[in-house]
C-alpha cells in the first residue's frame, strides 16, 4: 500500500548538513501546528519545546551534546522536554493543595511514573515534528545526546525541576548538492522487531540473519570499529562502552533525582 504520507515516511533520512536557508515563519508555523496535534496522555500536553535561537546557546549545545558541530549550524533547533512543571504551577494557581486538605487527599509531587509518561508525550511530539517537517520538504535530525550534561543544560535552558530534556531535533532545508544528501540506512527485518503475543528472544544463528543487511550495506569490507570482529562487538565498543554513554547515564540519574525530589 502506498500514499503520500507513507512515501514521506519511507523517504525520510536523518540530515546533518543543511542548506544555508532559514526556516520560514510559515514553515515553522506548519511544523508547530502539526506538533501540537500530537496524541498526548490525558490531553495534558506533558511536554515543552525550547526553541533555541541564540547562536551562542546552539554553539554550546554543539559541545555539550557530544561534540556534534552540525547543531551550531542548524537553522532551527528544538529541545523537547518532559514537562510536569506547567501542571504543578497550575495546580498551585488552582489551590489544589487546599482542595486536597479539605477532602483528605494526599498532595504529591511528580515521581518516576509521571516522568515516563511525560517523556512519552515529548517523544511523540518530537516525531510528529519530524514527519511534519519532512512533508513540507525540510529535513531533520534527532540529537539524543541532549540527555548528557543535565546540570549544564538546566543552567543553559533555565529548566525548573519538573522539566527534563528528552530529545533535541534540528531542522533545516536539505542541501541542494547531492553529496550532502543523507544515506538511506538499512533496518533489521520486521521479524526481529515484532513478535506476536509474547516477546520472542533470538538464537545466535538468527542474529547472523538479523545483522546481515546492516553489515552488507555499511561494512562492505568488514572493517568494524576499533578492530572489533562483528556487528555486536562494533556496537558495544562504539556505543555501550563509550564515554558519552557513561555521561548520559550519570546525567539521567541526576535528572531523575532532581525530578523526584526525594519522593522515591
Interacting residues toward ligand FMN by CB under 6 A: 13-14, 16, 68, 141-145, 167, 182, 185
Q: Considering the complex, state which of residue 198 and residue 220 has its C-beta at the smaller distance from ligand FMN.
A: 220
Measured from the CB of residue 14, what is the shortest distance to ligand FMN in angstroms?
4
DSSP, collapsed to helix, strand or coil, labels residue 148 as: coil
Q: Which residue has the cell 526525594?
A: 262
CB of 146 to ligand FMN, least distance (A): 8
85 versus 167: smaller Cβ distance to ligand FMN: 167
Q: What span, in angstroms and rounded, lies between the C-alpha atoms of 124 and 132?
A: 12
Residues 6+ apart with CB under 8 A from 97: 91, 107
CB 257 within 8 A of CB 154: no
**What's the CA dihedral at 201, 205, 208, 210 to 10 degrees?**
-30
- CB within 8 Å of 119: residues ≥ 6 apart: 82, 164, 166
Give min distance, CB of 171 to ligand FMN, in A: 13
| Least distance between ligand FMN and beta carbon 86 (Å) | 23
> Minimum distance between the CB of residue 130 and ligand FMN, rounded to whole angstroms?
9
Amino acid at each position: 500500500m502506498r500514499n503520500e504520507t507513507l512515501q514521506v515516511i519511507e523517504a525520510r533520512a536523518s540530515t546533518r548538513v543543511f542548506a544555508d536557508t532559514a526556516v520560514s515563519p510559515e514553515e515553522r508555523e506548519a511544523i508547530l501546528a502539526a506538533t501540537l496535534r500530537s496524541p498526548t496522555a490525558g490531553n495534558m500536553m506533558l511536554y515543552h519545546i525550547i526553541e533555541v535561537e541564540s547562536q551562542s546557546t546552539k554553539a554550546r549545545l554543539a559541545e555539550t551534546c557530544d561534540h556534534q558541530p552540525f547543531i551550531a549550524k542548524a537553522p532551527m533547533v528544538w529541545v523537547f522536554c518532559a514537562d510536569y512543571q506547567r501542571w504543578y504551577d497550575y495546580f498551585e494557581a488552582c489551590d489544589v493543595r487546599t482542595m486536597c486538605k479539605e477532602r483528605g487527599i494526599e498532595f504529591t509531587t511528580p515521581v518516576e511514573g509521571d516522568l515516563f509518561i511525560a517523556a512519552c508525550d515529548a517523544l511523540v511530539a518530537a516525531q510528529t515534528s519530524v514527519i511534519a517537517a519532512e512533508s513540507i520538504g525540510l529535513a531533520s535530525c534527532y540529537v539524543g545526546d541532549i540527555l548528557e550534561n543535565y546540570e549544564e543544560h538546566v543552567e543553559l535552558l533555565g529548566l525548573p525541576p519538573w522539566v527534563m530534556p528528552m530529545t533535541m531535533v534540528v531542522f533545516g532545508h536539505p542541501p541542494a548538492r547531492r553529496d550532502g544528501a543523507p544515506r538511506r540506512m538499512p533496518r533489521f527485518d520486521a521479524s526481529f522487531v515484532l513478535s506476536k503475543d509474547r516477546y520472542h528472544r533470538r538464537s545466535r544463528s538468527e542474529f547472523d540473519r538479523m545483522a546481515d543487511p546492516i553489515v552488507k550495506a555499511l561494512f562492505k569490507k568488514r572493517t568494524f570499529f576499533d578492530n572489533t570482529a562483528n556487528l555486536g562487538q562494533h556496537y558495544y565498543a562504539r556505543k555501550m562502552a563509550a564515554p558519552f554513554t557513561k555521561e548520559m547515564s550519570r546525567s539521567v540519574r541526576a535528572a531523575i533525582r532532581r525530578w523526584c525530589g526525594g519522593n522515591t
